[in-house]
Amino acid sequence: GDSVTQMEGPVTLSEEAFLTINCTYTATGYPSLFWYVQYPGEGLQLLLKATKADDKGSNKGFEATYRKETTSFHLEKGSVQVSDSAVYFCALSDGTGNQFYFGTGTSLTVIP
Amino acid sequence: DAGVTQSPTHLIKTRGQHVTLRCSPISGHKSVSWYQQVLGQGPQFIFQYYEKEERGRGNFPDRFSARQFPNYSSELNVNALLLGDSALYLCASSMLAGGPNEQYFGPGTRLTVT
């Protein structure tokens, strides 16, 4: 069946460091891919999405490119801030649009 | 505008009991999905409803059921509770069902089964 695998954390970075959180997926058909973020004390919220191969989702300085050839959707940010400290979840909606799969989450802590 | 609301916030039940969790979607949203999130894990998809019909079901036993009402609110029911059902239950709403539609998550109901 469909699934999402993301790099395990926790990840600790210094402010202004480069961030990559790896995410790979297994899916039949043409899934949509998402990154959700959960800030401390808050609910899950959508960070960015991509709906077809080679699409790039971007928001708040974060980017991820839907790579069908490598079945990946890695999250990147060029310069992280303390306020980016959160748990990040990679997710997919399958080709039917009626099933959803989340990764296990990666905790990011950014230190000043 | 109000976001997705869920009730109750916390709940403690005994093994074998039944529980009903409630969700009100964002105004104008017609689809509601339910997820179970065990501590330290990502959300696991349980159901998706759209226009009162079930559109998708995850890999959960028949003890789990749900329904959506004409006002698009939804209930998740769990029968014969097990200790392993202890988790945060999340509701998410979207304007339409499935695919690339953005889901907006509620704060969740924390269920503890003793």
Task: Encode pLDDT of A96-112 as tens digits.
Answer: 878 899 999 999 999 99
Confidence band (pLDDT; 50, 70, 90) for A1?
Answer: confident
Measured in angstroms, the CA of A108 and the nearest CA of chain B are apart by: 14
Residues of A contacting chain B (CB within 8 angstroms):
4, 32, 36, 43-46, 49, 51, 89, 91, 93, 96-105
Confidence band (pLDDT; 50, 70, 90) for B1?
Answer: low
Task: Encode pLDDT of B8-42 as tens digits.
Answer: 999 999 999 999 999 999 999 999 999 999 988 99
In this complex, is the C-beta atom of B61 within 8 Å of any C-beta atom belonging to chain A?
Answer: no
All residues at 6 or more sequence positions from B33 whose CB lies less than 8 Å from its CB, including other chains:
A100, B45, B46, B47, B48, B49, B56, B91, B92, B93, B94, B103
**A98·B107 Cβ contact <8 A:** no
List the structure tokens of A30: 């043409």
**B90·A102 Cβ contact <8 A:** no
Q: Which of A36, A89, A101 sits opposite B45 (nearest CB)?
A: A101
Please tell me the distance from the alpha carbon of residue A108 to that of residue B16, in angstroms, as a whole number: 38
The predicted model gives B69-82 an average pLDDT of: 97
Specify the pLDDT at position B105: 94
Nearest CA in chain A to B55: A98
